[in-house]
A and B are shown apart, each in its own frame.
Chain A
Amino acid sequence: MSSITVDHSRPSAPSERDIEQLLRPLAPQVLGVLVRRYSRFDLCEDAVQEALLAAALQWPGEGVPGNPRGWLIAVASRRLIDDIRAEHARRRREDADAAAAMDGALAPAASDEPPTDYDDTLTLLFLCCHPALTAASQIALTLRAVGGLTTAQIASAFLVPEATMAQRISRAKQTIKASGIGFQMPPEDGREQRLAVVLHVLYLIFNEGYTASSGPEVQRTALAGEAIRITRMLHRLLPSDGEVTGLLSLMLLTHARRRARSSADGSLIPLADQDRRLWDRGAIDEGVGLIEYALANARLGQYQLQAAIAALHAEALSTEDTDWRQISALYELLERITSNPVITLNRAVAVAMVNGAQAGLEVLGQVERDGRLEASHRVDAVRGHLLDLAGDRDGAVAAYERAARRTMSLAEQRYLQSRAVAARTDSAGV
């Protein structure tokens, strides 16, 4: 009857933040559809970015369209076709013999329609974390293509000029194009190693955000939340993979401490001195649930072990109440599968809590003989801690001071310097 209907369901003026939250999970889905339809990952990725930008500009004023995903696909496709036309026109001008036809360039890719959006997101993650790319490029491309962040946001999070970040992204896309890496799942037999790279990239993004100080580095801090969001997405795609579950759990359990880990002036508060009432219980419960499930059902791996250690800390009421014996056993297992001297260093601390400072110092000796951490401040930081426990204040002061000079982190330097001052005061007071 009447063709005029009033749309009561339309929300009044959505905020920019609402729109960003709506857009970001759609980014990889829309990109997946485009790449399947038209191949040319490099051009599709630019087109999706432009469509996201258009949405961010138009939707706050005009309202969110009824089918946001369809809107984005339509706008991105239009941009893509314009871009391809422009590219062809340029090529024709440059070389009259270039006979690549529009139709050919826009022919559907081999696998036409996606089985599901979820599969596309997974394929995209594998593509962005392709081993042919440098770590810096993997991180940048993952945040843009899968996370839906703009180049400016990523640049600001990593404290680099936008031009530098833009170049990393475009170089990554060139590498993908030049090496003929297709938009498909990696073959079954190499998938585990490829997944390990994806997890490592997500771990690096999380760490970048987690170690940022709050305050002036807001964009960088947000990376931790973004890493959790993407890892959660990955966990929904691969719910039975123990390492994906382990990494998500590890991130949640670590992130749960964010409000307790630094004081108002930005100085770091070590685990032992944190006000545990500030820990995020919701995140801890979720993290503990995830790791318990993974440990009972999946094949063991490094992220699960790290999450299991984080869970033991999260559940303890205090340092004294912590199950250091089990933590030390878990570190031993980790050492067996990773051979990373940082793990041995952590075990030295746990062993000291179980069997005394001297036993911890003996484990520390292994790290020194290994030699790989020779240039790192971490060995001296742990030595300072263990000597402090052992009552050797002068030794502790010297070790803390060496560590303070070596570290490249301002927050850690302040902390180590304060420990040196405390140990010296103790030493003078005796």
Chain B
Amino acid sequence: MKYMLLLYDNPDTREAFFGPESEALMGEVEAVLEELRQSGELLSTAPLADPVNTKTVRARDGVPVITDGPLAETKEHFGGYLMVDCETIDRAVEIAARWPSSRFAPLEVRPLMDVGGSEE
């Protein structure tokens, strides 16, 4: 089963990850990633640029309307993701709990939809 781990950022995560603990935290990140690569569970991962770089796009009467900045100004925003393929959701939750940013901001674990299905 494939899961998307949505990583959220807030001022605390930024302070921690860019502060004096940065190296230790990135070491933890790399250790988790290496374990997931070794186990064949990691599908992909990427950080997202700061929300100030966001363009929000809507179509109004067939015309795209583009605004600068995120949909909503919130303290916590979507900051990156990990996509994993593991046996159970419990395992996905365990990975999320070990991701160091979980100490500062929450992660969401969301199963991916399967396109197919059974007719029975």
Contact = CB atoms under 8 A, between A and B. Distances in A.
Interface of A: 134-137, 140, 158-161, 163-165, 167-168, 171, 210-213, 216-217, 220, 257, 261-262, 268-271, 274, 346, 407-413, 415
B85 A164 contact: yes
Contacts of B87: 134-136
Contact of B117 (A140, A164, A271, A410): A410
Contacts of A135: 87
Contacts of A257: 119
B119 A410 contact: no
A217 B116 contact: yes
A261 B39 CA distance: 36
A412 B39 contact: no
Contacts of B112: 408
Interface in B42-62: 42-44
Contact of A213 (B38, B40, B116): B116
Given A136-B85, A271-B120, A167 B115 contact: no
A217 B116 CA distance: 9
30 contacts: A134-B87, A136-B40, A137-B40, A140-B40, A160-B43, A161-B43, A161-B44, A164-B43, A167-B37, A167-B39, A167-B40, A171-B39, A171-B40, A211-B116, A211-B117, A213-B115, A213-B116, A268-B119, A269-B119, A271-B120, A274-B119, A407-B117, A408-B113, A409-B113, A409-B116, A410-B113, A410-B114, A413-B117, A415-B117, A415-B119
Interface in B70-120: 85, 87, 111-120
A256 to B, nearest CB: 13
A127 to B, nearest CB: 18
Closest 5 CB pairs of A and B: A409-B117, A168-B40, A411-B117, A412-B117, A213-B116
Given A160-B43, A171-B39, A411 B85 contact: no
Nearest to B41: A164
A168 B120 CA distance: 31
Contact of A408 (B41, B43, B111): B111
